[in-house]
Every structure is written in C-alpha cells, then in structure tokens.
C-alpha cells in the first residue's frame, strides 16, 4: 500500500502565445514534439531540473513509482532523476498519465492535446503509457472540473499502486501549477471556499510531500467504491465526483512538505494561484485573427500585469503555466505583450 506521495512541478519553460478569439496557438521556439503548447524547458529550467533530480535522489523514503503529465516539459524535468535511478539500478520507468496533465480554461475552441506515447518515446527512454483513467476535455475545464479530474486520476493511480504486486510504498508525480494545487487539495480533502486561496505552493521545480493517514489502511483507498460511476470518454466534460471533499482520496493524506525550494539555487520562483476567471468564454470566438497574448515569459514576475481599463474584458489566465494578463487598449493595439 502506498504510504507517501511526492509531487513536483516542472521547471522554467519556453513560451507560446494564444489568441483567445480564434484559439490559435503560436510560438517562436519550435517544440520538440511539434505541438506549439508543448515546449521544452528553458536553459534555466534545465538547471532547476538537475537540482531537483539531486534532491529527489536523496529523499526518504526513496521513490518507488513515477508518474508524469504527458507534456514534454514535465518528462524532461524528471530526466536527471531517472538517469540517476537507472545508473543505480533502481526503477526509472515513468508512467505517462493524461489525468495529471495541464489545465486549460473553458473555451469555445479546442485546446492542444499532448503528444502520443510513440512520439514521446522518440525523445525519452523508460516511458510507459499509464492505464487510461480520465482525459481532460479538449474544450477546457472549469476549476471544479479540474479538481474532480485530478481527484479521479489520483484515485485510479493510488488504487493501481495499492494492488501492485511489487508493493510500492512511495509515488512521485511531476505535473503543472494548477494540477499541483489540485493534487494537494484532493489528497488532503481540504477544498477552500475561495478557490484562489494560496494554500498549496507550486513554484517551478518545487517539492511537496504527502503522507497517508494511518486509518487509510482500514478505510480503504482508490475509488472508495464509486468506480461504478466511472468517467465516460464520450462525455469528457462530465467528471465524476468521488466525494473527496472533506475526506481526501485514498483515505486521506497529510501535507508534510509544501512546495519546498530550499535545494534550488534560485529559491522559490514563478508561483501561481487561481483567480476564479481562468476561462476564455468571455471572448467572442471568431475563428480568424492574429492577435495573441504571450503565455508566460520566464523573465517576468508571476504577478506582472498590464493595467485594465473599464472597457476591457475581464481578467483571463491562459493556462496554469501562463502569467496573469489584464487587457487594455495598449495590449489590444499591440497584439502581443511580453510580461
């Protein structure tokens, strides 16, 4: 039975732009997978990943099982650690699971899907496709849907680990900012009334540790008997509620380490939190146009913004990787802005 779950966020990444009125994604830096919204780590992110890898190789108890979002930057972040694992004769297999993948706000257009396992295998070793539990809707998610999706994915992962004949005790998950916050809430069962509450930290390459509550071995884990209400891929936006709020998935977990960055030379950087308006539905979808907003310049502070005007649309955050952008006439005229 699992006893400990480690959660990390990927390192600094390259950037892309998206036009909220057309759903068009663009990037000046080619993606290794050919998907615009699937960038590699920036050089600084590679350094962070190396420092994180060293830290992960020293954690106690050691990592037995590894899961990752399918986006390139997450798997790349794990690479220094898995290389150390492999050279030491330890488990270096990464289970790629879309259930712990990126969060995109609700939209009238399709968001990019991550690369397939066959494409990822061209770039990385030791990857296996996890048993499919849940896949985010192509049209994005509301904040409650994200939390329920993460809880559902975690329940599936925990259930499989608990029944694994190798009896893993520890699990490592590499994911994204919004998902990292949702993981903390789903494991502990602590869902704040204000979704924007800054409860679980998610700095780049930060490290969190969750320890299973002792009573979990008696109350059971996994889907807690609710698998009959399973997720249907044909109705991707209908995410089952496993009743995790107040209880936590898998019997409940305590957070012992919350977004630690003490092992990173740059410390805590690029934190993020929900604002309550992460969607694109306030924009008229035209399907044409060229204007875009840059999603996440690595040289900017996480709370950087452009001043709004009274005529501007409401605040929008372009994915959990991006920086928060307030529209203004100046932004509208320039088309893109570097924060």
Give the pLDDT band of residue 20 (cuts 50, 70, 90). confident
Q: What residue numbers bound the domain in which 132 lies? A: 4-260
The CATH number for 219's domain is 3.40.50.1240
For residue 187, pLDDT over 60 is answered with: yes
Q: Which single residue is written with the structure tokens 């209400």?
A: 229
- pLDDT tens, position by position, 83-96: 999 999 999 999 99
- pLDDT tens, position by position, 294-318: 443 332 223 222 222 223 333 333 3
Q: Please report whether residue 114 resides in a domain.
A: yes
| Partners of 82 in beta bridges | none
Q: Cα–Cα distance between 142 and 35 in angstroms, integer?
A: 23
Q: Please report whether residue 241 resides in a domain.
A: yes
Residue 192's CB is within 10 A of a number of other CB atoms, namely 11
For residue 141, pLDDT over 90 is answered with: yes
Q: Please report whether residue 191 resides in a domain.
A: yes
Closest among 142, 87, 145 to 276, alpha carbons compared: 142
Give the pLDDT band of residue 289 (cuts 50, 70, 90). very low
What does each C-alpha distance from 185 to 55, 89, 152 come to in angstroms?
Answer: 24, 34, 12
3-state secondary structure of 276: coil
Check if the beta carbon of residue 248 is closer than 8 Å to that of residue 210: no
| Partners of 68 in beta bridges | 96, 174
- How many domains are contained in the chain? 1
Cis peptide before 61 (omega within 30 of 0): yes
Residue 254's CB is within 10 A of a number of other CB atoms, namely 13
What does each C-alpha distance from 46 to 159, 188, 259, 261, 332 come to in angstroms?
Answer: 33, 31, 19, 15, 34
Q: Please report whether residue 332 resides in a domain.
A: no
- Which of 129-143, 213-227, 277-291, 308-322 has the least mean pLDDT? 308-322
Q: What six digits make up the tokens of 186? A: 């789903």
Handedness of CA 288, 17, 175, 80 (dihedral sign): positive
Check if the beta carbon of residue 191 is closer than 8 Å to that of residue 182: no
Q: What six digits make up the tokens of 34? A: 């050919």
Winning range, highest mean pLDDT, from 215-224, 303-312, 323-332: 215-224
**Secondary structure of 69-91 as H, E, C letters:** CCCHHHHHHHHHHHHHHHHCCCC
What is the chain's mean pLDDT, rounded?
A: 82
Give the pLDDT band of residue 152 (cuts 50, 70, 90). very high
Q: Please report whether residue 276 resides in a domain.
A: no
Which ranges in the chain belong to alpha helices (H)?
43-56, 72-87, 117-120, 143-162, 177-188, 216-219, 329-334
Q: What is the pLDDT of residue 73?
A: 98
Check if the beta carbon of residue 221 is closer than 8 Å to that of residue 250: yes
Q: What is the pLDDT of residue 15?
A: 85
For residue 292, pLDDT over 60 is answered with: no
- Which of 40-49, 102-111, 112-121 has the least mean pLDDT? 102-111
Q: Please report whether residue 53 resides in a domain.
A: yes
- pLDDT tens, position by position, 228-285: 357 666 666 678 889 999 999 999 999 999 999 999 999 999 999 998 777 777 766 6
Q: Please report whether residue 138 resides in a domain.
A: yes
- What b/e sequence results for 28-47 when a residue is b if at least 16 CB atoms lie within 10 Å of its CB, and e otherwise? eeebbbebbbbbbbbebbbb
Q: Please report whether residue 84 resides in a domain.
A: yes
Closest among 113, 69, 66 to 94, alpha carbons compared: 66
Give the pLDDT band of residue 22 (cuts 50, 70, 90). confident
Q: Cα–Cα distance between 312 and 326 in angstroms, integer?
A: 8
């Amino acid at each position: 039975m699992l006893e400990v779950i480690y959660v990390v966020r990927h390192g600094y990444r390259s950037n892309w732009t998206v036009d909220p009125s057309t759903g068009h994604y663009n990037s000046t830096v080619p993606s290794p997978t050919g998907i615009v919204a699937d960038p590699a780590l920036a050089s600084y992110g590679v350094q962070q990943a190396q420092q994180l890898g060293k830290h992960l190789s020293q954690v106690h108890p050691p990592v037995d099982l590894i899961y990752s979002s399918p986006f390139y930057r997450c798997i790349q972040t794990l690479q220094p650690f898995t290389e150390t694992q492999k050279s030491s004769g330890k488990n270096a297999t990464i289970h790629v699971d879309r259930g712990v993948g990126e969060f995109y706000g609700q939209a009238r257009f399709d968001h990019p899907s991550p690369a397939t396992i066959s494409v990822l295998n061209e770039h990385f070793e030791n990857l296996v496709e996890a048993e499919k539990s849940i896949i985010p809707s192509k049209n994005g998610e509301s904040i409650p849907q994200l939390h329920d999706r993460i809880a559902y994915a975690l329940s599936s992962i925990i259930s499989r680990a608990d029944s694994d004949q190798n009896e893993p005790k520890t699990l490592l998950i590499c994911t994204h900012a919004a998902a990292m916050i949702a993981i903390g809430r789903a494991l502990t069962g602590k869902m704040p009334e204000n979704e924007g509450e800054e409860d679980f930290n998610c700095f780049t390459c930060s490290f969190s540790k969750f320890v299973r509550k002792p009573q979990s071995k008696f109350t059971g884990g996994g889907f807690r008997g609710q698998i009959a209400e399973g997720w249907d891929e044909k109705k991707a936006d209908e995410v089952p509620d496993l009743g995790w709020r107040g209880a936590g998935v898998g019997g409940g977990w305590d957070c012992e380490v919350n977004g630690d960055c003490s092992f990173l030379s740059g410390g805590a950087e690029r934190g993020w939190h929900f604002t309550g308006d992460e969607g694109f539905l306030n924009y008229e979808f035209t399907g044409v146009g060229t204007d875009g907003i840059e999603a996440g310049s690595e040289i900017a502070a996480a709370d950087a913004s452009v001043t709004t005007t009274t005529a501007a649309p409401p605040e929008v955050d372009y994915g959990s990787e991006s920086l928060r952008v307030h529209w203004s006439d100046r932004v509208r005229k320039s088309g893109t802005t570097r924060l």
